[in-house]
Each structure stands twice: as structure tokens, then as C-alpha cells.
């Protein structure tokens, strides 16, 4: 993951601190939030792939056909 260059803003790091405190009941340092937040964004950028319009239409058609009434 080191080859992906991500820089979080101060506001993003502070929001990450807020989310961590809310979700886990633990306040983390700014430095830890910066590192963890950056790693989280890198991970998402590696695994998330937006769906293409063609794939969306193919999926939508498939779902529509499966949900048709049987009569």
C-alpha cells in the first residue's frame, strides 16, 4: 500500500478521530488518526471499483427478471 500517495486534510483527520471515538469509545492521537485514516483510504482505493454503466444495466436487468411475478 505504500505506493499510493494519500494526504488527509486536518479536517479529515479530526473527523476520523471523532468517528473512532464514537464507534469504539476510544480517543486516538492526531498522529495515530492520520496514519490509520491514511491506511483506511489506501485500502478502500485498492478494493473499491466503481460499477460501469454496462455492468449496472446488466445487473438491473437480471434483478428485474428475478423479481417478476410468476403468473
Does residue 70 surpass a pLDDT of 80? no
- Give dist(CA 24, CA 5) in Å, integer: 27
Find where cell 488518526 sits.
Answer: 33
Cell numbers 505506493 label which residue?
A: 3
- Interval 51-69: pLDDT, tens: 899 988 888 887 767 666 6
Using pLDDT thresholds of 50, 70 and 90, give the confidence band for residue 49.
confident
Mean pLDDT score, 27-43 = 95
Count H helices and E strands in the chain, helices first: 3, 0
pLDDT at 1: 57
Amino acid at each position: 500500500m505504500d505506493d499510493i500517495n494519500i494526504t488527509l486534510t486536518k479536517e479529515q483527520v479530526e473527523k476520523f478521530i471523532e468517528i473512532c471515538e464514537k464507534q469504539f469509545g476510544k480517543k486516538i492521537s492526531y498522529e495515530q488518526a492520520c496514519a490509520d485514516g491514511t491506511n483506511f483510504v489506501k485500502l478502500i482505493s485498492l478494493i473499491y471499483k466503481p460499477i460501469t454503466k454496462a455492468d449496472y444495466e446488466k445487473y438491473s436487468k437480471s434483478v428485474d427478471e428475478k423479481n417478476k411475478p410468476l403468473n
